[in-house]
Amino acid sequence: MSESRNSKSKNTICVHEGQHIGEYRGINTPIYTSTSFGYLDTDERLYPRYFNIPNQKVVIDKIVALEHAENGMIFSSGMAAVSSVLLTFLSKGDHCIFQNGLYGGTLHFVNRELERFGIEYSILPDNEPESFRKAIRKNTKVVYTESPSNPLLRVVDLQVISKICRQHQCISVIDNTFASPINQNPLNQGIDIVLHSATKYLGGHSDICAGVVVSSKKHIERLMQTSISLGGSLNALMCYLLERSIKTMAIRVEKQNHNAGMIAEFLVLRPQAERVYYPGLKNHPGHEIACRQMTGFGGMLSFELKGQDITTFQKRLKLIRPSMSLGGIESIICAPVTTSHRLVSKKQREEEGIRDNLLRLSVGIEEAEDLIADLEQAMGE
């Protein structure tokens, strides 16, 4: 496992970094709800859509410190972050490379919108470094990755990809949502831009929709100019809730790492789980790369259920709730075939290795034994 470079530990950053002390020295950051701020005695022009109000800044400072970045921005959703990044760094006539196995919403955006803006793109058949290299064209400006990926937890070698990008002067981007800033800091591997759906591990309680981007000062300045016009900023109340959530993120994710590891080990021994996908398992194809570039293997895993209908199985679960999304403190399960990948044809799903009996588990912070007992009883023992 690679060591974190920041001198402060992640738990300490999560609790303290960026916090504002208000007039009355309260222990929490005050919520500045204003959308109008005085301008006479200052050069600052504060306005929520300019991404510069105090509560936005607090959250950004925390994530910037966690990801070892220079600057960042907070958005109203993960997709606002994804679309703002792509529409900033790609122009008419440019080409973008997307890895294989992207979040459904990102894929939908790419398929629907990029062509209208005259942006060319390639979606790779696999995530081997050679495939990235071969796909590079003269006009390639951005290389977009997501590791570990959804739902098969595929791992991309970030050091190799960022090197290829530097050689060809492309900007490398990663969607780091599945890993969270606790388990992976891709800027350390040379990736240029890191984004997250903060709806997942940063929010962590299935009640906030937000997104973040962190990078160098230079890239964020450029992103800021376009994003101010696109308008995907987050309001102060939500920023405060997100700040509060991030305070416990490191301990939440550590527990989720632990629980997911225990469940993966349990599942590999069950005949009812045909294949188990978890980067922490020694036989996972990306295990060695994951050991190099991650500090924990994350709270997401998936497996193929054998000998039982997946809907019946989900109904038999008592603790683990069948529901969409991920990253919350409660364990939830979903079948990609009927949720995230329901709009993808069966043929395309099969090509990607997503079988009809695949279940994706977002592991929460409950006791691992309780979760394992629930899976066990639903498997019929």
Known catalytic residues are 49, 103, 175, 200
Of 64 and 179, nearer to ligand PLP (C-beta) is: 179
Least separation, in Å, of the C-beta of 34 and ligand PLP? Answer: 26
Binding site for ligand PLP (CB under 6 A): 77-79, 82, 103, 105-106, 146, 150, 175, 177-178, 197, 199-200, 209, 211
DSSP-assigned states of every residue in 29-56: ------S----TT-S----GGGT-SHHH
Least separation, in Å, of the C-beta of 20 and ligand PLP? Answer: 25
Least separation, in Å, of the C-beta of 77 and ligand PLP? Answer: 4
User: What are the DSSP E strand ranges found in the chain?
Assistant: 71-75, 95-98, 120-123, 140-146, 171-175, 193-197, 211-215, 273-277, 300-305, 321-322, 332-334, 358-362
Of 105 and 129, nearer to ligand PLP (C-beta) is: 105
Least separation, in Å, of the C-beta of 309 and ligand PLP? Answer: 26
Q: In what order do the strands lie in the sheet with 321-322?
A: 273-277, 300-305, 358-362, 332-334, 321-322
The structure tokens listed for 31 are 């919520």
Least separation, in Å, of the C-beta of 138 and ligand PLP? Answer: 29
Instruction: State how far the Cα of 186 lies from the Cα of 172, in Å rounded to an integer.
Output: 10
Of 187 and 378, nearer to ligand PLP (C-beta) is: 187
- Residue 221 class from Cβ within 10 Å (0-12 exposed, 13-18 middle, 19+ buried)? exposed
Instruction: State how far the Cα of 258 lies from the Cα of 222, in Å rounded to an integer.
Output: 39
Residues 6 or more apart in contact with residue 210 via CB below 8 angstroms = 74, 75, 76, 77, 78, 197, 198, 199, 202, 203, 234, 238, 242
Residues 6 or more apart in contact with residue 269 via CB below 8 angstroms = none
Of 67 and 175, nearer to ligand PLP (C-beta) is: 175
Of 162 and 340, nearer to ligand PLP (C-beta) is: 340
Least separation, in Å, of the C-beta of 336 and ligand PLP? Answer: 12
3 state DSSP class of 89 = helix
Query: Minimal CB distance to ligand PLP: which residue?
Result: 78
Of 187 and 208, nearer to ligand PLP (C-beta) is: 208
